[in-house]
Structure 1
Amino acid sequence: MSCASDSNNDSSEPNEDPKTIEPVIFTAIGDVPYNDFQRDSLPKVIAAHNAKAKSSFVIHVGDIKPGAEACTEDVYVDVSNLLKQFTAPTFIVLGDNEYNDCTYPEQGLAYWNKHFLKFNTNWSFSPTITYQQKRPENFSWIQNKVLFLGINIVGSNVHNQTEWETRLTDDANWVQQHLQAEKDNVNAVVVFGHANITEGDATKFNTFTNVFRSSAAEFNKPILYLQGDGHVWFTNKPWPEKNITRVQIDGGHRAVEVTVDPNKSNPFSYNRSFLD
């Protein structure tokens, strides 16, 4: 595969000039809407995004409602219809408030699957999306030598230990499989999940985290874990594997523009005021 535009390149040169790879720009939102103000603000954010954003896609990193609110189907319908107003293809991963924190988590998941599973298919999107056979809410694609992965990793209480461990195992397998298979094909990775897996009781995520860290060490290229959950912006490197950067977004009606430049050794940059 050649990305070079000069047909007179000497045949001894590499077939691909990494400087020709276009950065990937996307928008992240999450933990929204939590209240009437956020519900009323979200259409305005979407309209501004449609008018001025350069993002090739949008990701909602989970929590479409407050945890204390009942998991009734009308909430899922409402937020689904709101997010469909984005002109950019929009992806979403599960949050605990619409799933794990429901009085009946299986019912919450059923509503989510009905209204959000493979949500991106409401738009045309050039990269080929793959879904995990055992867990179709987990997705992946490659775009401009960047691997994107979405996983169902939520916080809050462990209401069913077997379900919890099985889900984390599936998540770990999905990430490990892709990092191993695409190591020579991509320059960077972005993992979308909801949960903060390091603060609080981090041990309950070990089934995923231990595999993620070991796979990242072997991959040895930049990885971004982009999460919601905490509602306060920060970025850090929480593990000894320094190729993993973790970002927690503001949440609410505030969006962040993320740029992934696969030509750079530090490929990730953020703009939290791009819609102001």
Structure 2
Amino acid sequence: MYEKHHLMLCSNRLLKFRAPVIKILMATLTVLLLMGGCVKDNSEPKDPEVNNPVTQTEPVTFTVIGDVPYSDEQRSGLLQLINKHNASDVSEFVVHVGDIKPGIVPCEEPIYKDVDSILRLFKAPTFIVLGDNEYNDCKNPEQGLEYWKKYFLKFNENWTFKPTVSYQTERNENFSWVMDKVLFVGINLVGSNVHNPTEWQTRLEDNANWVRKQMEEQKDKVNSAVVFAHANIVEIGPDKFQVFTEGFRSASKSFIKPVLFVQGDGHFWIQDHPWPEKNITRLQIDGGIKAVKITVDTNLKTPFLFDRQFLD
């Protein structure tokens, strides 16, 4: 009887002793698990700037020039720029955002032919959009457009370019393609005088429709978009561009992802967010014999990187 009582007493004492031990062991295990989680996070840091680490892509790097050549001096400077660019071999393609001559110079065919021969010297595939100086500012805009199309329409086809380039049926100077989850779009958006209100509005509508169509079709396939145009539609007569601007902003808002609008026209650098849709970055390039290298890295929340000294 005594042994039985002693055994029960020892068992009770053991249970009382085990309870805090179990609690300690459980607490220790919890701490170890938490530490294990911390170790994992430290060994695989997550960059706060990463946009979508699950579907990372290679950055796309390209060069933009515009408003050149305006003189014999700029012509020589452009040739030197092309030689430097060919030697550096840093860009996958080049885009000229319009104005291949001064507005006051008559729109004569030899000028278009000369600039055509110069731009063909780029080793990288080269695209060009219309500027007002070689089109809208001409004494005969239709003649200027005819010359431009003769030498520059589908200009990129002078090179081998892997992505498939699409052209708008209604306006075949407008183009687009996709590369490494980036949508690229070029449009005929020029400034200066409105000679024919009907033609002007129709062209703006075509441009907006082309941008909207590309963004809608590619929204789930790309991580960002870049639009190339010539005109400054923010500071220089914004009202006359309203049809396009509203359509572009609406399409970009629905697109949600980062959009870069690259323009020439102003001849000095602007990098800002001029509209309420903060996913749109507007870039006005320096122009002249100053090129900018743009890198689009869709792995980053802020995917657009600019280098204005890469050929210095």
1:53 aligned partner: 89
Q: 97, 119, 122: which is aligned to 2:155?
A: 119
Q: Which residue of 1 aligns with 2:24?
A: none
Partner SS for 1:96:
coil
Please identify which structure carries the higher helix content.
2
Q: Deviations over 1:69-115 (max 9, x none)?
A: 00000000000000000000000000000000000000000000000
Letter aligned with residue 158 of structure 1: V
Is 2:97 the counterpart of 1:66? no
Q: Is the 8 A contact 1:226 1:246 kept in 2?
A: yes
User: What secondary structure sits across from 1:170 in the alignment?
Assistant: helix
Structure 2 equivalent of residue 89 of structure 1 = 125
Q: Secondary structure at the match of 1:254?
A: coil
Cα distance in 1, alignment partners of residues 188 and 225 from structure 2 = 17
Match of 2:268 among 232, 255, 262: 232
Secondary structure class of the residue paired with 2:173:
coil
2:288 aligned with 1:252? yes
Following superposition, the deviation at residue 17 of structure 1 comes to 5.8
Aligned to 1:269: 305
The correspondence for 1:166, drawn from 190, 202, 205, is 202
1:181 maps to 2:217: yes
What do the CA deviations read for 1:41-92 (whole angstroms, capped 9, x no partner)?
Answer: 1111000000013100000000000000000000000000000000000000
Is contact 1:165–1:207 with CA below 8 Å preserved after alignment?
A: yes
4+ residue segments displaced more than 3 Å:
16-20
Q: Which residue of 1 aligns with 2:144?
A: 108
Structure whose residues are more often strand by fraction: 1
Would you say 1:155 and 2:191 are equivalent positions?
yes
Partner Cα separation in structure 2 for residue 20 and residue 263 of structure 1: 6
8 A Cα contact 1:53 1:275, kept in partner: no
The sequence identity of aligned pairs, in percent, is 61
User: 1:181-220 deviations in whole A, cap 9, x for unaligned?
Assistant: 1111100000000000011210100110001111111111
TM-score (norm 2): 0.82
Task: Tell me the amino acid that sits aligned with residue 62 of structure 2.
Answer: F
CA distance in 1, matches of 2:230, 2:267: 11
Structure 2: 5+ residue runs without aligned partners?
1-51
Please, what is the CA RMSD of the aligned residues? 1.0
Larger Rg: 2
